[in-house]
Amino acid sequence: MKLLGNKATVLPFAVAAAMLAFGAPKAEAQGFFDMLFGGGVKHAPPKGDFPPPPSKYKPKPKAPAASGGGAQISSPSYYTYKSDPLVRVDFSALSAAPEPATPQDAAFEPAATGAAFREAIAGLDGYDLYAEKDIAKALIAYYSANPDFIWVTGTSPNSRAEDAVRVLGEAASYGLTPADYTVEVPAAGESAGNADERLKELVRFEMALSARVLRYARDAQSGRVDPNRMTGYYDFPPKPLDMEGVLKTLAHTQQVRTYLESRHPQNSEYQALRVELEALQASAEDEITIDPNLLLKPGQTSPELPKLLTKIARNLDDEMGGAYGEVLARLATSQVYDPELVPVIKAVQKRAGMKGDGVIGPRTVASLAGTSKADKIQKVRVALEELRWLPSDLGSPRVFINQPAFTASYIDDGEEKLKTRAVVGRPTNQTAFFYDQIEQIDFHPYWGVPQSILVNEMLPRLRRDPGYLDRAGYEVVNARGKRIPSSSVNWGAYGAKIPYGVRQLPSEANALGELKILFPNKHAIYMHDTPQKSFFQRDMRALSHGCVRLQDPRGMAAAVLGTSVDYIEDRLKHGHSTEDVTRKIPVYVAYFTAWPDLSGTVEYFNDVYGRDTRLQQALDSTEAVRSPAS
């Protein structure tokens, strides 16, 4: 089917033809409209026709909706991140607790040091140890049920403690801050003081190390910040950690390092980012710097050009070296952008995923000159933190959408079997960061118009031209699910709350194109085709209302259904239909400005929404709260 360009309206005969091609809606199709944005109808629509109910974030009108004038539905916002304050651990519960006749914890086995521990508890009087509230609670709960040392044997820290302190000291290799986990370790053997002082020193070390080990384990598993408290664009389920269980495990194993390292994500992407961080920290800063605002067209002159050519020559692969090596060597010192160099620049641009127009601009310079070492380190640290929000095992097969890269990939058995260009939300209509599971493919889909688009973009026109939707291939229903003419609605009476639902019929001009791939979520985001094919030729593709448009939607549909593109093409010949995805395929609608390909090579991307900066502010807030902790 030949797709038309982007059109504001569809002629009536085109709408009629579309309805004949795809079949006029049946009477029972009224049920499709039972649950629309703001319609108040209690019945759920068939899966896929409309986005899910609104999220817990409640849009607010930007202006009062009185008399329907000017009100709009706002997008989710960013919040000023405030870390929870630390609390002083109240050890009085341990001191006051009588010795149990039998162990409170069935797994606890008294050791020879148990008596020494109970004697040592007195040394916690006046000890100011600050920790996160849940960690403080877990410490008291664990040691009340298990009154014995984990990290001390005799009069010295034991091998468990040595291993734990080493792991905490290596936190920087994971992009964490070692100061967050610092513990003062008592000197080995008897101290110069008396036995009581030594016991006090040891029990305080015991509590401090347990508190910092729990902080480390939680940070490694879930990250240092709660992403959902940063913005309504982030949506991640909690990753609870049984903190008492952590201490129980560590008390009964000598494999402390193995256990603590297992709290980190165990996927290859996380390991590749760690390797990249280590390499960056050991590397020297690149001595060649290029004006990031350089703009150079063929025939123009700039002293920055030789530096750019040097960068290209350093990174030639065999193919490009054979094709352009001689030209680069001959014109290496030229400040004139000679026409002979244009094919070289175009090839480099295309290799970097750009359209290859031969014009040297800021994006070309960024791709060739690369990101500074400091910026790369920052991006990798941010990426490591974000990966801790995701499942440790990303799953296979899976779909991975990286918004800053403007790409969507289908990955199976360690192989990227499909990679396609994608269009994501504009900075004013950002795509959320979350993960879900793919459930359904819709062929020649209806498009349930979100209330935000209906209010913000369609309503001004509808006030002037109430019959616009009737002519443009849309259907309107009221709160009872009854289809009504658009021209019969007094659109001027409504503001941010419109008691009508609107959907666009399948057609060549449908905003979703010929298919959509659903993973129902509260953000009403999915992957879909688009009639606006020209967008995929742009380098910066943050251009949609928030959903993810695919350059190769048929290929992606075939991949997730485990079938062929020929099968998809055949389904498309038969009008509107749906097919469930029967396999478990997670989809990550992700946001990483540093991300490794499957070979482990890390690529860097622009922070199109400014989220890295906001995450760093949240991390700074967390460190500020932790820094005065003892």
pLDDT in tens, 300-357: 999 989 988 888 887 777 777 788 888 888 988 989 999 999 998 888 888 777 778 8
Q: What is the pLDDT of residues 472-481, one digit of tens each?
A: 889 999 888 8
140 and 216 co-located in one domain? yes
d(CA 59, CA 429) in angstroms, rounded, equals: 13
Torsion of Cα atoms, 447 then 451 then 453 then 457, to 10°? 130
Q: What is the pLDDT of residues 397-442, one digit of tens each?
A: 999 999 999 999 999 999 999 999 999 999 999 999 999 999 999 9
617/329 Cα distance (integer angstroms): 46
Q: What is the pLDDT of residues 579-607, one digit of tens each?
A: 999 999 999 999 999 999 999 999 999 99
Query: What's the rounded Cα separation, in Å, for the pair 31 and 29?
Result: 5
Residue 609 lies in a domain: no
136 and 244 in a single domain? The answer is: yes
Q: Which of 369, 393, 419 is the C-terminal boundary of a domain?
A: 369
Q: What is the mean pLDDT of residues 113-136?
A: 91
Asked whether residue 417 is domain-assigned, the answer is: no
| The pLDDT of residue 113 | 57
State whether 319 and 259 are in the same domain. no
For 76-80, 361-365, 491-495, which range has the lowest pLDDT when averaged over its residues? 361-365
The answer to whether residues 165 and 252 belong to one domain is yes
Residue 32 has pLDDT above 60, yes or no: no
pLDDT per position as a tens digit, 465-512: 999 998 988 999 988 889 999 999 999 888 888 899 999 899 888 899
Would 18 be classed as within a structural domain?
yes
* DSSP state, residue 336: B
Cα–Cα distance measured from residue 223 to residue 217, given in angstroms and rounded to the nearest whole number: 9
User: Does residue 222 belong to any structural domain of this protein?
Assistant: yes
**Chain centroid offset of residue 355 CA:** 26
- As a whole number, the mean pLDDT across the chain is 85
Residue 531 lies in a domain: no
Alpha-carbon span 49 to 93, nearest angstrom = 57
N-terminal to C-terminal alpha carbon distance within the chain: 68
Instruction: Kindly provide the b/e burial profile for residues 385-422, where b requires at least 16 CB atoms within 10 angstroms of the residue's own CB.
Output: bbbbbbbeebbebbbbbbbbbbbbbbbeeeeeebbbbb
Claim: this prediction has a pTM higher than 0.75: yes
Last residue of a domain, one of 369, 388, 403: 369
Residue 358 sits in which domain range? 305-369
- pLDDT for the residue 67: 45
Q: Which residue has the higher pLDDT, 8 or 575?
A: 575
For residues 100 and 210, membership in a common domain is answered with: yes
Which of 545, 544, 564 lies closest to 554 in space, CA to CA?
564
Read off the pLDDT band of 284 (50, 70, 90). Answer: confident
Same domain flag for 223 and 262: yes
Assigned domain for 393 exists: no
Judged against a pLDDT cut of 80, whether residue 102 lies above it is answered with no
Same domain for 212 and 268, yes or no, is yes
35 contacts 493 by C-beta, under 8 angstroms:
no
The DSSP line for 193-259 is S-HHHHHHHHHHHHHHHHHHHHHHHHHHHH-SS-GGGTBTTEE-------HHHHHHHHHT-S-HHHH
Given a cut of 80, is residue 98 above it in pLDDT?
Answer: no
Q: Clarify whether residues 91 and 170 are in a common domain.
A: yes
DSSP 47: B
Considering the domain boundaries, does residue 74 fall inside one?
no
Q: What is the mean pLDDT of residues 347-368?
A: 82
- 301's CB contacts (< 8 A; 6+ apart) are 335, 336, 337
* Domain termination site, one of 350, 369, 388: 369
CB atoms within 10 A of CB 372: 13
Instruction: Report DSSP letters for 571-590, one per residue.
Output: HHTT-SEEEE--S--EEEEE
Question: Which pLDDT does position 62 carry in this prediction?
Answer: 45
Interval 37-74: pLDDT, tens: 222 223 333 333 433 333 333 444 444 444 445 667 77
Cβ-proximal residues to 258 (8 Å cutoff; 6+ apart), any chain: none
Taking only the tens place, the pLDDT of each residue in 171-221 is 999 999 999 999 999 987 655 558 889 999 999 999 999 999 999 999 999
Whether residue 267 sits in one domain with residue 137: yes
Residue with tokens 């001595």: 287
Residues 200 and 347 in one domain: no
Look at residue 399 and give its three-state secondary structure: strand
Whether 599 is covered by a domain: the verdict is no
Q: Which of 53, 48, 52, 45 has the alpha carbon at shortest distance from 444?
A: 48
Q: Within this chain, do residues 272 and 211 fall inside the same structural domain, yes or no?
A: yes
**Which amino acid type is present at position 12?**
P
Domain count, the chain: 3
Examine the domain organization and report whether 237 and 94 are in the same domain.
yes
